[in-house]
């Protein structure tokens, strides 16, 4: 009997030791405290006693010591309280339809909603709201939420895609609190500004900064913008940039970001000057659409080849490729290979600057144009007409559509497109590869989605410019391309033609 009892206690002891070891191992792996393994009745008891705690009741400084900062603080808060009630949040919705095939080969249609967010600002007591065109473009439902949380449906009155402005009307007979459109020509680099909007759908947000620069041109169609370091993030688009008196001096439109897929604020934001906004607003309210000036001329930027061929000594200007029959340009006497030096007294740096000036010209006004032709400057005059549609500048000029050029482009086998406006406005440049033709020289070298920045070390800004440079290069030599693929810069080369 005694040996059996000894074996029992021996096994019990082994079990207890094994159990404690396993428990200790688990406690260690979970980051626990080994003191928790000691039974509470064996632990030394401690008694809590009150700590001596004497907080101060005095501020580090009196308001009289920081009187100027205190007044500035109060004025910032007062400005915010005056501006925020006029800023609205915009929620949009549309439906995308896709046709799918099931396992039995039957087709069915699937519709799903796509939602978006943005900001806007009330500019009339009747409830007219200014926002960005890209906030509401293609949307089927628009809903506006004002400062006090009330939500309304809204109607699109008109839009100007050229400067990225849209005008909405709140569907209500209530009287609203508008903000005044200020004079953006009085804005100075370095002056304090406040950006108000709805970033990331968080609701009313105010950020403060300065105007960092003026006359920033970020796309071929966009007019000059203000650059600001006031924080602007996705969702701020369409919100106002205000000055110290609460006047709108800009409409926030874009941020500069190096990440195309996940844009975020990098300390550089852009706003449309209020004078351009006021001009577009007036045209939309009166006529329901924007009015653009029309000259009727095909242009392109100067490059070394053009300057050498024409003997033009300067790097700035825009060269005429052709004119539309019966257009103001033809009537004025503009001819191919003319280099436009100035327009309405303003020096021309590049084609996008010239196009912007033409589009902003008053309809019916006679404009003085200075061109360089055959080693001398010539003064011409053109009477601006209204453009019935947005000018199209990214078509290959007719004189370039020769059989040889088209055959060369087919042999290379790459199709490109211009970048979307919102990406151009975030600072991206170049063209994006949209398709690679099977059997073409570009197959296996370029991929759809590649961003082409330069061709033979010449920067590319449009699809037209890419094809104009590609055809003569690919006809005689290997063509070098600077591209960005999945965020990584690369240099590739298209082969020279087989002799």
- Which residues belong to the active site? 134, 164, 237
Q: Taking Cα atoms as reference points, which of 154, 120, 143 lies closest to residue 238?
A: 120
Helix (H) or strand (E) run with residue 475 in it? helix 463-476
Question: Going by DSSP bridges, is the β-strand pair 414-418/346-347 parallel, antiparallel, or unpaired?
Answer: unpaired
Q: What are phi and psi of 252, to 5 degrees?
A: -65, 130
Which helix (H) or strand (E) is 349 found in, with range?
A: none
Block residue for tokens 């094994």 = 18
DSSP characters over 109-126: EEEEEEEEEEEEEE-STT
Beta strands in 174-268 (DSSP E): 192-197, 205-216, 225-228, 240-242, 248-255
CA distance 304 to 318: 13
Q: Is the dihedral of CA 92, 249, 362, 394 positive or negative?
A: negative
- Token reading at 254: 């874009």
**Alpha-carbon dihedral 165, 166, 169, 171, rounded to 10 degrees:** -130
Written as six digits, the tokens of 463 are 């699809």
In terms of Cβ atoms closer than 10 Å to its own Cβ (0-12, 13-18, 19+), residue 309 is exposed
The DSSP symbol for 359 reads H
3-state secondary structure of 315: coil
- In order, the DSSP letters of 277-311 are HHHHHHHHHHHSS---EE--EEEEE--HHHHHHHT
The candidate with the shortest Cα–Cα distance to 137, out of 180, 169, 168, is 168
How far is 144 from 154, CA to CA, in rounded Å?
A: 7
Q: Which of 115, 121, 111, 117 has its CA nearest to residue 82? A: 121
The residue to which tokens 């006047």 are assigned:
247
CA distance 79 to 194: 9
């Amino acid at each position: 009997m005694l040996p059996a009892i000894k074996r029992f206690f021996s096994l019990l002891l082994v079990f207890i030791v094994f159990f404690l070891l396993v428990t200790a191992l688990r406690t260690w792996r979970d980051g626990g405290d080994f003191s928790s393994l000691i039974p509470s009745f064996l632990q030394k008891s401690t008694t809590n006693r009150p700590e001596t705690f004497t907080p101060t009741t005095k501020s580090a400084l009196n308001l009289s010591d920081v009187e100027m900062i205190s007044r500035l603080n109060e004025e910032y808060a007062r400005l915010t309280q005056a501006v925020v009630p006029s800023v609205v949040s915009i929620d949009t919705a549309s439906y995308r339809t896709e046709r799918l095939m099931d396992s039995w080969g039957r087709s069915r249609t699937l519709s799903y909603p796509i939602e978006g967010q943005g900001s806007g600002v009330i500019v009339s007591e009747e409830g007219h709201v200014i926002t960005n065109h890209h906030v509401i473009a293609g949307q089927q439902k628009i809903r506006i939420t004002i400062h006090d949380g009330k939500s309304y449906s809204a109607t699109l009155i008109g839009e100007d895609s050229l400067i990225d402005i849209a005008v909405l009307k709140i569907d209500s007979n209530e009287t609203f609190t508008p903000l005044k459109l200020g004079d953006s020509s009085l804005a100075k680099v370095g002056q304090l500004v406040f950006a108000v909007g709805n970033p990331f759908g968080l609701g009313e947000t105010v950020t403060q900064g300065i105007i960092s620069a003026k006359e920033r041109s970020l796309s071929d169609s966009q007019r000059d913008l203000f650059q600001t370091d006031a924080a602007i993030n996705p969702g701020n688009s369409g919100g106002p940039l205000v000055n110290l008196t609460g006047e709108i001096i800009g409409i926030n439109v874009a941020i500069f970001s190096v990440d195309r897929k996940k844009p975020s604020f990098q300390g550089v934001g852009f706003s449309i000057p209020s004078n351009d906004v006021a001009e577009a607003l007036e045209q939309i309210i009166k006529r329901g659409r924007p009015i653009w000036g029309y000259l009727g001329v095909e242009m392109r930027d100067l490059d070394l080849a053009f300057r050498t061929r024409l003997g033009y000594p300067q790097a700035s200007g825009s060269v005429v490729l052709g004119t539309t029959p019966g257009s103001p340009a033809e009537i004025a006497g503009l001819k191919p290979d003319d280099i436009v030096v100035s327009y309405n007294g303003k020096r021309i740096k590049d084609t996008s600057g010239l196009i912007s000036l033409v589009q902003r010209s008053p309809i019916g006004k006679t404009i003085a144009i200075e061109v360089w032709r055959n080693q001398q400057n010539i003064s011409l005059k053109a009477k601006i007409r209204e453009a019935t549609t947005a000018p199209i500048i990214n078509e290959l000029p007719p004189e370039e559509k020769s059989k040889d050029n088209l055959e060369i482009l087919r042999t290379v086998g790459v199709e490109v497109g211009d970048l979307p406006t919102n990406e151009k406005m975030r600072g991206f440049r170049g063209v994006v590869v949209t398709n690679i033709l099977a059997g073409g020289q570009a197959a296996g070298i370029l991929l759809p989605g590649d961003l082409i920045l330069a061709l033979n070390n010449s920067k590319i800004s449009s699809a037209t410019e890419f094809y104009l440079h590609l055809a003569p290069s690919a006809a005689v030599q290997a063509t070098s391309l600077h591209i960005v693929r999945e965020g990584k810069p690369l240099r590739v080369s298209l082969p020279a033609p087989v002799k």
